Amino acid sequence: MVQRKCKRSVKAKAHRIAKRIKLEEVEGQVNLLDLPLGPLHMIILKVHPEKQQFLRSASNKLKIEHSDCMLHSFKLFANDHLRERHRSVEQQMIHNVMTVLTQSTDYFVNSGYDAIFTGRLIYFYKQLATGEEDLDIAQMHKFLHEFYNNLERTPVERPSEAAARISLNQRRLIGTMTLLNLLRQFRNYRIVSSCMNLMHWQLQFELTGIYFGVREREANTRDQDKLVDFLTIIAELLVFDKSQIYEKRYTEIGNSFYVYGIKKPSTLSARSPKLTLKLSILAPLSVRSMIEDVLNGQVDMGRPVHCPLVDTFSIQLDVVSRQVSLWNGNNHMEICIAPLN
How high is the pLDDT of residue 167?
Answer: 85
12 vs 145, which has greater pLDDT? 145
Residue 25 is which amino acid? Answer: E
End residue of a domain, out of 123, 154, 185: 154
pLDDT, mean over the chain: 82
| Residue at 18 is within a domain | no
| Residue at 12 is within a domain | no
Residue among 214, 183, 168, 175 nearest 324 (CA) = 214
> Do 51 and 146 share a domain, yes or no?
yes
Is residue 219 over pLDDT 60? yes
> Do 234 and 136 share a domain, yes or no?
no
Is residue 118 over pLDDT 60? yes
Average pLDDT over residues 237-255: 89
CB atoms within 10 A of CB 191: 12
Range of the domain at 238: 168-341
Number of domains in the chain: 2
Is residue 26 over pLDDT 50? no
Q: How confident is the model at residue 129 (pLDDT cuts 50, 70, 90)?
A: low
Residue among 333, 160, 175, 323 nearest 256 (CA) = 333
| Residue at 311 is within a domain | yes
Q: How confident is the model at residue 43 (pLDDT cuts 50, 70, 90)?
A: confident
Considering the chain, what percentage of its residues have pLDDT values greater than 90? 35
What CA–CA distances, in Å, run from 84 to 102, 106, 244? Answer: 16, 20, 19
| Residue at 269 is within a domain | yes
> Do 189 and 238 share a domain, yes or no?
yes
> Do 261 and 334 share a domain, yes or no?
yes
> Do 231 and 320 share a domain, yes or no?
yes
> Do 150 and 226 share a domain, yes or no?
no
Entry field: residues in the chain: 341
260: CB partners within 8 A, 6+ apart: 210, 211, 212, 213, 233, 236, 237, 248, 249, 251
> Do 209 and 133 share a domain, yes or no?
no
Average pLDDT over residues 105-113: 92
Contact between residue 177 and residue 190 where contact means Cβ atoms under 8 Å apart:
no
| Residue at 122 is within a domain | yes
> Do 118 and 146 share a domain, yes or no?
yes
Does residue 244 come out as left (phi exceeding 0), alpha (psi in the -120 to 50 range) or beta? left
Supply φ then ψ for residue 88, to 5 degrees. Answer: -80, 180
Residue among 23, 306, 315 nearest 166 (CA) = 306
pLDDT in tens, 260-306: 999 888 787 777 889 999 999 999 888 999 999 999 988 888 888 88
| Residue at 191 is within a domain | yes
Distance separating the N- and C-terminal Cα atoms of the chain:
93
Is residue 341 over pLDDT 70? no
The helix/strand/coil state of 125 is helix
End residue of a domain, out of 120, 154, 188: 154
Average pLDDT over residues 309-322: 88
> Do 191 and 331 share a domain, yes or no?
yes
pLDDT in tens, 165-180: 888 889 999 999 999 9
CB atoms within 10 A of CB 20: 10
Least confident of 163-167, 170-174, 237-241, 319-323: 163-167
How high is the pLDDT of residue 2?
Answer: 47
> Do 72 and 149 share a domain, yes or no?
yes
Give all strands (DSSP E) within the chain, no chain letters.
189-197, 200-208, 210-216, 248-253, 256-262, 274-282, 314-321, 332-338
> Do 179 and 265 share a domain, yes or no?
yes
> Do 143 and 120 share a domain, yes or no?
yes
End residue of a domain, out of 130, 154, 178: 154
| Residue at 100 is within a domain | yes
Average pLDDT over residues 12-38: 57
Q: How confident is the model at residue 181 (pLDDT cuts 50, 70, 90)?
A: very high
| Residue at 227 is within a domain | yes
